[in-house]
C-alpha cells in the first residue's frame, strides 16, 4: 500500500486534521500528551504520513525557538509532537517524519533540537542527533533556571554544513539556555 508524506504549516491544516493529529498523539503517548504539549507543536511545519486509505499513521512538527549559548542567540528548529500509531510502529514512519522535519531544519535554522523520551532516543541517535552532554537551562520569568531533568535527554542536530554550538570551543561545556514556555519547558 502506498503511503503519502505531506508537510504543511499549522495554518494550512483544517480543524478536522488538527483534531485527527491530536487524537493520534493522545493514542501514541497513551494519554500522556497534555494541552501544553499540543500547544508546543503548533505554529510551525508539520509532517504527516498517511496510508493509501488516508489513515494518519505518524506526525511530527518543527517550531522555532531561541537558544542562548556562549553569549549568542541561535534560531533553533525544535522538533515536537512526534508520534506513530501504536499498531504501525517499527515500519519506518517515524524516520519518514524526521527526514521531512530535518529538511526544514537544514533550510531554515542554525541547529535542530529536541527532548527525547527513552523510547524515542534510538530513532534520533540513528539519524545523527547527539545528546547534549552539559547543562540545560531556561530563561524563566524570574531569571535563568537549571533543568536537570532535561540533561541527557536533549538532543541537537547541526543543520546541513553548520557545526553544533560548542563544537569549535575546547570542552564546549557551557549551558544551553532555552526560551521559556508553559508546561514542560523542553
Domain range summary for the chain, segments of one domain joined by +: 4-179
Tell me the pTM. 0.92
pLDDT digits (tens, 9 = 90+) for 117-148: 988 999 999 999 999 999 999 999 999 999 99
Q: How many CA atoms lie within 13 A of 6 on its CB side?
A: 16
pLDDT digits (tens, 9 = 90+) for 154-172: 999 987 666 666 654 444 5
- At residue 145, the 3 state secondary structure works out as strand
Spatial neighbors of 15 by CB under 8 A, at least 6 apart, are: none
Give percent above pLDDT 70 in the chain: 92
Q: What is the mean pLDDT of residues 74-82?
A: 96
Alpha carbon distance 14, 44 (integer Å): 14
In the chain the first and final C-alpha atoms are separated, in Å, by 36
User: Which residue(s) pair with 73 in the sheet?
Assistant: 68
Q: Which three cell numbers stand for residue 149?
A: 531533568
CATH of domain 4-179: 3.40.630.30
Closest CA to 178 of 90, 88, 75, 79: 75
Q: What is 39-70 written as a DSSP string?
A: HHT-SSEEEEEE-TT--EEEEEEEEEEEEEET
Give the pLDDT confidence score for residue 173 in this predicted structure.
65
Give the pLDDT confidence score for residue 184 in this predicted structure.
87
Amino acid at each position: 500500500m502506498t503511503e503519502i508524506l505531506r508537510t504543511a504549516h499549522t495554518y494550512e491544516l483544517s480543524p478536522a486534521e488538527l483534531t485527527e493529529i491530536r487524537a493520534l498523539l493522545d493514542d501514541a503517548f497513551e494519554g500522556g500528551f497534555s494541552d501544553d504539549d499540543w500547544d508546543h507543536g503548533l505554529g510551525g511545519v508539520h509532517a504527516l504520513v498517511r496510508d493509501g486509505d488516508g489513515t494518519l499513521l505518524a506526525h511530527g512538527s518543527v517550531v522555532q525557538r531561541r537558544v542562548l549559548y556562549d553569549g549568542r542567540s541561535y534560531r533553533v528548529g525544535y522538533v515536537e509532537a512526534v508520534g506513530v500509531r501504536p499498531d504501525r510502529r517499527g515500519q519506518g514512519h517515524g524516520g519518514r517524519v524526521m527526514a521531512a522535519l530535518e529538511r526544514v531544519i537544514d533550510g531554515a535554522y542554525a541547529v535542530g533540537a529536541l527532548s527525547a523520551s527513552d523510547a524515542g532516543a534510538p530513532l534520533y541517535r540513528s539519524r545523527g542527533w547527539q545528546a547534549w552532554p552539559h547543562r540545560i537551562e531556561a530563561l524563566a520569568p524570574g531569571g535563568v533556571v537549571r533543568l536537570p531533568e532535561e540533561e541527557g535527554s536533549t538532543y541537537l542536530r547541526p543543520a546541513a554544513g553548520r557545526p553544533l554550538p560548542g563544537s569549535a570551543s575546547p570542552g564546549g561545556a557551557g549551558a544551553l539556555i532555552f526560551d521559556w514556555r508553559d508546561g514542560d519547558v523542553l
